């Protein structure tokens, strides 16, 4: 008896606007190592980087006597993605995007008994315990929430702070938030760039109104910045841990802060959302570390300790659980 792995054939890669090149690179590397052909469908708002990348790859293939069609590009709207999802010749479809669209892609691919790799919503949480290195925890949390203007799938959305240090951490966050540099992210020292489109601005504006209705308190930010481009104020919100809005990922630079008493309570809050991508615990106690990373700890695909939710995670098994999709785009078994 022998276990043997063969190429799938054709892999379809549908990418999102926020990492239009990196996600394609991760998937393409695995696909080519497995001996497959790859077809890329980028987000309709970020086609130029996909065109440039594929031209470079095809030039290298030609230089080495290989057919350019090993990597194929198809730019367009949702109709292209639907064709890829429904085409029986595409043996695996890798989709990065919203949970709503991911469900549609999954149903089309499963209808024809194909394979899917889904990287969907995040809604990530960080827990700061009273024994944590607070300087490290606060810096990691601010970068996780504000870096890339809150538009990473691993961006920090929910920050849980143990009640004994809550007021101290809250005061330090409120002092730090007004100092965040906002502008062209290509300029040195700028942490927060623009959001991707006008649609994100609408999500932000509607989200702020809903936060107020649910008893949330705007501590910092909360407004659109009146300047050319899609700029928003990084926003800090104090809210009850049971608020309904915490069940949803807004994908804009809004950070919710809330207090908790015990680690068990914080873990329950962390897990009590439909999404399960990235999570983080700041502690100096090994007992807490192993509880957090064990079977009764975080239910996310990425479980961090003493670093924020958002970093260079692709070296490991990148992906999430629950409504995040269950896929892995790196790590030791991802080639399978």
- DSSP assigned state of 298: -
- The arrangement of strands across the sheet holding 124-128 comes to 217-220, 235-238, 254-260, 156-162, 124-128, 278-282, 302-305
Q: How many domains does the chain have?
A: 2
Which long-range contacts link 206-215 to residues 24+ away (Cβ below 8 Å)?
A: 207/245, 207/250, 207/252, 207/254, 208/235, 208/254, 210/245, 211/237, 211/239, 211/245, 211/254, 214/239, 214/243, 214/244, 214/245, 215/239, 215/240, 215/243
CATH code, domain with 292:
3.40.309.10
Note the pLDDT tens digit of each residue in 224-279.
999 999 999 999 999 999 999 999 999 999 999 999 999 999 999 999 999 999 99
Please tell me the pTM assigned to this model: 0.96
Task: Tell me: do 78 and 205 sit in the same domain.
Answer: no
Task: Tell me: do 91 and 150 sit in the same domain.
Answer: no
Within a 10 A sphere around the Cβ of 80, how many other Cβ atoms?
17
Task: Tell me: do 131 and 230 sit in the same domain.
Answer: yes
Give yes or no for residue 312 having a pLDDT over 80. no
330 assigned to some structural domain: no
Q: Given this model, what pLDDT does residue 333 score?
A: 84
Task: Tell me: do 244 and 311 sit in the same domain.
Answer: yes
Q: Given this model, what pLDDT does residue 315 score?
A: 80
Burial class from Cβ neighbours inside 10 Å (0-12, 13-18, 19+) for residue 118 reads buried
Domain limits at 105? 10-119
Task: Tell me: do 78 and 131 sit in the same domain.
Answer: no
Mean pLDDT of the chain: 96
Give yes or no for residue 126 having a pLDDT over 80. yes
Predicted confidence band of residue 332 (pLDDT cuts 50, 70, 90)? confident
Note the pLDDT tens digit of each residue in 159-208.
999 999 999 999 999 999 999 999 998 999 999 999 999 999 999 999 99
Average pLDDT for 22-32: 94
Task: Tell me: do 311 and 229 sit in the same domain.
Answer: yes
In whole angstroms, give the CA distance from residue 43 to residue 182: 25
Q: Given this model, what pLDDT does residue 313 score?
A: 78
Residues labelled catalytic: 119, 153
Task: Tell me: do 49 and 178 sit in the same domain.
Answer: no
Give the number of C-alpha atoms closer than 13 A to the C-alpha of residue 134, restricted to the C-beta side.
14
162 assigned to some structural domain: yes
83 assigned to some structural domain: yes
CATH code, domain with 88:
3.40.605.10
85 assigned to some structural domain: yes
**165 φ, ψ to 5°?**
-115, 5
In whole angstroms, give the CA distance from residue 279 to residue 207: 22
Average pLDDT for 1-24: 95
The last residue of a domain, from among 119, 138, 171: 119
Identify the residue whose tokens are 């015990």: 262
Average pLDDT for 88-99: 97
């Amino acid at each position: 008896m022998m276990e043997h792995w063969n190429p799938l054939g054709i892999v379809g890669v549908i990418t999102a606007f926020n990492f239009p090149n990196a996600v394609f690179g991760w998937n393409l590397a695995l696909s080519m190592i497995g001996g497959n052909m790859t077809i890329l469908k980028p987000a309709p708002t970020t086609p130029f980087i996909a065109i440039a990348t594929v031209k470079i790859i095809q030039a290298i293939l030609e230089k080495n006597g290989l057919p350019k069609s090993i990597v194929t590009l198809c730019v367009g709207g949702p109709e292209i993605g639907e064709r890829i999802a429904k085409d029986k010749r595409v043996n695996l479809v890798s989709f990065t995007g919203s949970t709503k669209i991911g469900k549609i892609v999954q149903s089309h691919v499963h209808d024809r008994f194909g394979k899917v790799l889904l990287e969907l919503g995040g809604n990530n949480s960080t827990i700061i315990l009273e024994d944590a290195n607070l300087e490290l925890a606060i810096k990691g949390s601010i970068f996780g929430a504000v870096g890339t203007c809150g538009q990473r799938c691993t961006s920090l959305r929910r920050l849980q702070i143990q009640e004994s240090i809550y007021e101290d951490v809250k005061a330090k966050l409120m002092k730090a938030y007004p100092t965040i540099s906002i502008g062209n992210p290509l300029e040195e020292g700028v942490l927060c760039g623009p959001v991707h489109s006008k649609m994100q601005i609408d999500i932000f504006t509607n989200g702020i109104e809903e936060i107020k209705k649910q008893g949330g308190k705007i501590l910092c930010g909360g407004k659109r910045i009146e300047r050319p481009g899609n700029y928003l104020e990084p926003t800090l919100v104090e809210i009850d841990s049971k608020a309904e809005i915490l069940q949803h990922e807004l994908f804009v630079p809004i950070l919710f802060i809330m207090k908790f008493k015990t680690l068990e309570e914080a873990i329950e809050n962390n897990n009590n959302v439909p999404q399960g991508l990235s999570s983080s615990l700041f502690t100096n106690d090994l007992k807490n570390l192993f509880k957090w990373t064990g079977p009764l700890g975080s239910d996310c695909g990425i479980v961090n300790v003493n670093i924020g939710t958002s970093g260079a995670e692709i070296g490991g098994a990148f992906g999430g659980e629950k409504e995040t999709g269950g896929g892995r785009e790196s790590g030791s078994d991802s080639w399978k």
